[in-house]
């Protein structure tokens, strides 16, 4: 996000959204040395794999959504949580897998984590 985009967002949505965007997207990328922020519109894809017309443009998830999903899965699955694999279908640039793996390490849990996407240029 450029400084100009940040100022436009501040003017339009207020400081709270600008702070959330920084915390949930920009800081995540900076700490992990990756770029999950840059959206990739479908018309910029250089290849058209099978079922391409059914896909959407790439846009990363908010970190808080990933944390919410992790907590909800742990609560729902209880002690069998580690018996299941986490599979992100349409994973894009793998932000969800990266954050999920960080949460697994933080909680000393083991779980298979996989990402599947038809556009292999996005995969890490």
Which of 11-15, 16-20, 48-52, 68-72 reaches the highest mean pLDDT?
Answer: 68-72
pLDDT of res. 5:
67
Confidence of residue 51 (pLDDT cuts 50, 70, 90): confident
**8 A C-beta contact, residue 123 and residue 90:** no
Q: Specify the long-range contacts of residues 107-112, CB closer than 8 Å, at least 24 apart.
A: 107/74, 109/81, 109/82, 110/82, 111/81, 111/82, 111/84, 111/85, 111/86, 112/85, 112/86
- Domain layout of the chain by residue ranges: 3-116
Query: What tens digit of pLDDT does each residue of 52-104 get?
Result: 777 776 678 889 999 999 999 999 999 999 999 999 988 888 899 999 999 99
Residues 6+ apart with CB under 8 A from 66: 95, 96, 99, 100, 103
Distance CA 27, CA 44 (A): 26
95 and 69 Cβ atoms separated by less than 8 Å: no
**Average pLDDT taken over every residue of the chain:** 84
What's this model's pTM, rounded to 2 decimal places?
A: 0.78
| Helices 63-77 and 95-106: angle between axes, nearest 10 degrees | 50
């Amino acid at each position: 996000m450029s400084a100009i985009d940040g100022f436009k967002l501040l003017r339009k949505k207020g400081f709270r959204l600008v702070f959330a965007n920084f915390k949930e997207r920009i800081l995540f990328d900076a700490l992990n040395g990756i770029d999950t922020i840059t959206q990739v519109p479908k018309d910029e894809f250089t290849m058209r794999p099978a079922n391409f017309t059914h896909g959407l443009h790439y846009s990363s998830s908010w970190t808080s959504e990933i944390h919410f999903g992790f907590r909800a899965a742990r609560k729902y699955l209880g002690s069998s949580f580690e018996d299941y694999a986490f599979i992100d279908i349409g994973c894009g640039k793998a932000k969800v897998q990266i954050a999920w793996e960080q949460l697994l390490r933080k909680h000393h849990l083991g779980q298979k984590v996989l990402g599947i996407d038809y556009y292999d240029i996005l995969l890490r």
